[in-house]
Amino acid sequence: MLEWCLPKDMDLEGVEFKAIASGSHRVTTDFIYFRKGSYFGLACFANMAVESTVERGARMKSVGILSPSYTLLYRYMSFLEHQVRLQLQTPGHYSPLEAFYEDKRAILPPSGDGVVSACPANAWGAAINHSMHPEMKITHPAGCMSQFIRFFGEQIMVLWKLALLRRRILIFSPPPVGVVCYRVYCCCCLANISIPGIGVAVPEFRPFFYVNVADISALENELSYVACTTEKIFEEKKDLYDVYVDNQNVKTYRDGLKPLLRLSTCRQGEISQAH
């Protein structure tokens, strides 16, 4: 259930199912990127053992924020991690969260048009985005693209083709889901390129980040997305996605996309001759 929030009048129906991933009771800590209407969210989760029969021996909480931009949320991860530990140890202590909201709300642009935006409208956020390489926007300064490429290996070429085609890509993984949210982001980076000679970017490949069964109706209306889930039941709902990724296994049930899963091979002699 939703325990506390600011502002009080914001529609947060169902956000508790986004801020705590399905299966999180099996991990002690995690973080989750998600989408809620026209906002992106980041939540930090923690699980602490307690001697309480009412809480069945475990206290689990998640503390999160919503923003029009997902590229700046990483800046507040350490704050959220600290706050969720505080909420576990001293439940009901909300004054740091209230102070955070009052301090930050002035720099967040209103989102009255209902359009999901990956870039904030204020100059402060735009300047930060401009100074970063795309693959470093979430995990700056470490970045996550190199780990993403190493994880998928040669399959990265398959994902690249599918991302460029703006297919519906769903990535499955059991918890923790934080690192999988990074893979969603990196997959979008593969597709967000500029067209030479035109000077404008192609339509942005937007991440959905973490989804669960409560998001099925929203996904039914999406023509293009990248998302991740911890719920295996999604694999059976083949009308919701074009490409299903389980670990490093990339598969599709669409006959028109199956040829794209093949990796081109060439012999060493052919490589030498080409040189």
Q: Residue 127 above 50 pLDDT?
A: no
Where residue 198 falls among pLDDT bands split at 50, 70, 90? Answer: low
In whole angstroms, give the CA distance from residue 203 to residue 101: 32
Where residue 116 falls among pLDDT bands split at 50, 70, 90? Answer: very low
Q: Residue 113 above 90 pLDDT?
A: no
Rounded to a whole number of angstroms, the distance between the first and last alpha carbons of the chain is 62
Where residue 268 falls among pLDDT bands split at 50, 70, 90? Answer: very low
**pLDDT per residue as tens digits for the range 17-47:** 999 999 999 999 999 999 998 899 999 999 9
In whole angstroms, give the CA distance from residue 178 to residue 34: 10
In whole angstroms, give the CA distance from residue 261 to residue 10: 43
pLDDT at residue number 178 = 94
pLDDT at residue number 94 = 92
**Position 35, amino acid:** R
pLDDT at residue number 197 = 59
pLDDT at residue number 192 = 77
pLDDT at residue number 131 = 36
Answer with the residue of higher pLDDT: 199 or 116: 199
Q: What is the pTM of this model?
A: 0.81
pLDDT at residue number 266 = 53
For residues 225-252, average pLDDT: 95
**Domain residue ranges in the chain:** 15-131, 145-261
> What's the sign of the alpha-carbon dihedral 169, 170, 173, 178?
positive
pLDDT at residue number 259 = 92
In whole angstroms, give the CA distance from residue 139 to residue 135: 8
Q: Give me Rg for the CA atoms of the chain.
A: 20
Query: What ranges in the chain are assigned the alpha helix state H?
Result: 15-19, 77-89, 95-104, 123-131, 145-152, 155-164, 178-191, 216-220, 268-274
What is the DSSP pairing of strand 168-172 with strand 225-229? parallel
Q: Residue 189 above 80 pLDDT?
A: yes
In whole angstroms, give the CA distance from residue 39 to residue 138: 16
pLDDT at residue number 216 = 95
For residues 166-183, average pLDDT: 95
Report yes or no: 135 and 188 within 8 Å, Cβ to Cβ. no
- Average pLDDT value for the chain: 81
CATH of 145-261, one of 3.40.30.10, 3.10.20.340, 3.40.50.11500, 3.40.50.300: 3.40.50.11500
pLDDT at residue number 126 = 31
pLDDT at residue number 50 = 81
Report yes or no: 32 and 211 within 8 Å, Cβ to Cβ. no
Q: Which residues, at least 6 apart from 192, have a Cβ–Cβ distance to it below 8 Å?
A: 134, 201, 202, 204, 205
Q: Give the 3-state secondary structure of residue 225.
A: strand
**pLDDT per residue as tens digits for the range 55-89:** 777 889 999 999 888 888 888 999 999 999 999 99
Q: Residue 112 above 70 pLDDT?
A: no
